[in-house]
Amino acid sequence: MTTAFVYDPFERFHTFLGHPECHQRMESALALLESDGILDTLARLPNAPASIDAIRAVHSASYVEQLQALSQPVDASAATAQDVAAMWLDPDTYLFGASYEAALRAAGGLLQLTDAVMTGQAANGFSMNRPPGHHARPHSAKGFCLFGNAAVAARHAQERHGAQRILIVDFDVHHGNGTEEMFYDDPTVLFISIHQYPHYPFSGGMYDCGSAAGEGFNVNIPFPDGVGDAGYLAAVRQLVTPLAQEFAPDVIFLSAGYDGHWMDPLSGHRLSVSGYAALAQELLALAESLCGGRLICALEGGYDLNAMPHCILSTLRVLSHSRAPVSDPFGAVEGRPDAADKVIAAVKRQLGIR
């Protein structure tokens, strides 16, 4: 069984130079992955745009139509998206003529990966997609995100492959508000977000735990600044693991944002590459014990062009059971696990976890 990998170069047409969420993120990551040689050991999947029906499973038809109307067909001969003016959907999220197609392909890549894992063609996998997805709301774009990639794929796993229970873990440093909103009243999807709080998008409080039938199936772990590797690892071991064991998912999705790294300009959580590799190892072991190893990873944030590529490489080494060590040339900085302990204890009390 192999680890699958999907990347669609069309994403380069959706980029705004100088913006933290730009093509240079993929360019730097691909350069490291290619020089390392790990791509030769993975199952490279072809990509195709997601169907409109798949997108509308979590987004409103009016929003999809609006985004399509605002976009124009891309001239594939153009060197970059900078040949035309950007439209801003909110203060952080830009749109070019190619953006709608790029967003369809970002979601589509994750659907291809989901199909491969759910049908047993691959053991697990990683979609290096952009634009990212976890801030996109059912009716609007937000925070660099156009379509909710992980949410689209989770619903696809249910509707196409018969998955009954989906676990989505989001360790991006920013709260996955869009994913939360899409499944807030849905008991078939357990969503767990570990994030910096208060921090953009200024949501994800501890007591936001779902509504109606979905109450208790939305879990936020809102950490203060600087908790570091030990804080995140403790959250996975003491909260994510027992919740997942009780929920018994058919598949685990990971919104893999690496913007909690201590070098990242958009956060202050002080994680390291080695810390992220340890989280990936814990989640892979959890998937192997609960759902046949089905762990499907979608890239979210990560904006330091040096650290993020090594986070992706090290995650791929974990997923593929590579004998190569963690690729961490930057090392770790001291965190504040005591601050994390207080939050973990409070979440345990709220959820009744001993």
Q: Active-site positions?
A: 135
Q: Which long-range contacts (CB under 8 A, 24 or more apart) does 88-93 make?
A: 89/140, 89/141, 89/146, 90/140, 90/141, 90/142, 90/143, 92/142, 92/143, 92/144, 93/141, 93/142, 93/143, 93/144, 93/145, 93/146
d(CA 292, CA 276): 22
* Residue 118, CB-side half-sphere exposure with 13 Å CA sphere: 24
| Residues 340 and 59 sit within 8 Å (Cβ to Cβ) | no
d(CA 152, CA 107): 7
Tokens of residue 330, six digits: 């930057």
Pairing assessment for the beta strands 295-299 and 251-256 based on DSSP bridges? parallel
- The residue written with tokens 């939050």 in the block is 343
